[in-house]
């Protein structure tokens, strides 16, 4: 059975410091859209459903754009499962869900707010809003767990940013298998190089450099470091305890294994 389209989902803050979503979007783009395995993404290959809930630059109607994409289509979304079209669960396209540790998410999301939302407050103040689920596209854990609890559906693949950083080759193979695509053995290293942080940060199709310059944000970048565990360097002991208490209140009774 051929792949008609692939939906990539994450809470927006999970995508921030966006090497995570750049990795998986570029990976999926190449696997399902390039039969010749030409791995350099040089044009926009996907449509973003509900990229923002407000007008941001001169953005086209994403629904119409998605409808007009040739098959196989690659679509990104921040929507929770209950807000996705019902056909998602009957037609059963391939789904990829990307999770990232909320401690790192909050730090990266704060930078994102400063870049795109004109936020001028402190990081601690932003994290306070994050912990109260008062930032855009909240609530965090309800979004994550809604997909985690559907992880046994054969069309859904749950992916973590930490796994991509630890062993991108294994994630590459796992996603390829999920999409029913075979990667030529002699091209794996080329794909991994293309998906590296160094490559993604310089790729104009994913790094938002043109938009950043248009906004006059010359001292900020959409793709910043692409690292895990940044929270260990910047969060106070008190904030770490608050994150743990907040997270554990949602994870009580859950078998979710990736929070630390």
Residue 94, phi then psi, degrees to nearest 5: -70, 135
Longest dimension (CA), the chain: 52
Alpha helices in 203-259 (DSSP H): 209-214, 231-234, 237-251
Is 78 a residue of the active site?
Answer: yes
DSSP 48: E
Given the residues 78, 111, 143, 178, select the one marked as catalytic.
78
Token pair recorded at residue 73: 């289509």
Burial of 199 per CB tally in 10 Å (0-12, 13-18, 19+): middle
Quick check: helix, strand or coil at residue 29? Answer: helix
What positions carry a catalytic annotation? 78
């Amino acid at each position: 059975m051929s792949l008609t389209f692939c939906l990539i989902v994450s809470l927006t803050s999970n995508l921030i410091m966006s090497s995570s979503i750049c990795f998986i979007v570029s990976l999926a783009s190449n696997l399902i859209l390039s039969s010749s395995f030409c791995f350099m993404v040089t044009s926009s290959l996907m449509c973003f459903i509900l990229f923002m809930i407000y007008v941001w630059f001169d953005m086209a109607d994403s629904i119409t754009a998605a409808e007009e994409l040739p098959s196989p289509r690659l679509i990104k979304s921040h929507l929770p499962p209950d807000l996705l079209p019902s056909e998602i669960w009957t037609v059963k396209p391939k789904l990829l869900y990307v999770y990232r540790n909320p401690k790192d998410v909050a730090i990266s999301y704060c930078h994102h707010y400063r870049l795109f939302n004109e936020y001028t407050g402190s990081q601690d103040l932003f994290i306070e809003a994050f912990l109260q689920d008062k930032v855009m596209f909240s609530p965090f854990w309800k979004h994550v767990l809604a997909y985690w609890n559907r992880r046994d559906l054969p069309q859904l693949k749950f992916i973590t940013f930490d796994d991509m950083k630890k062993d991108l080759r294994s994630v590459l193979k796992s996603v390829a298998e999920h999409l029913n695509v075979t990667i030529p053995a002699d091209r794996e290293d080329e794909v991994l190089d293309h998906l590296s942080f160094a490559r993604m940060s310089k790729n104009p199709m994913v790094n938002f450099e043109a938009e950043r310059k248009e906004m006059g944000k010359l001292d900020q970048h959409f793709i910043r470091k692409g690292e895990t565990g940044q929270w260990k360097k910047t969060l106070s002991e008190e904030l770490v305890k608050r994150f743990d208490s907040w997270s554990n209140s949602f994870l009580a009774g859950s078998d979710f294994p990736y929070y630390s």
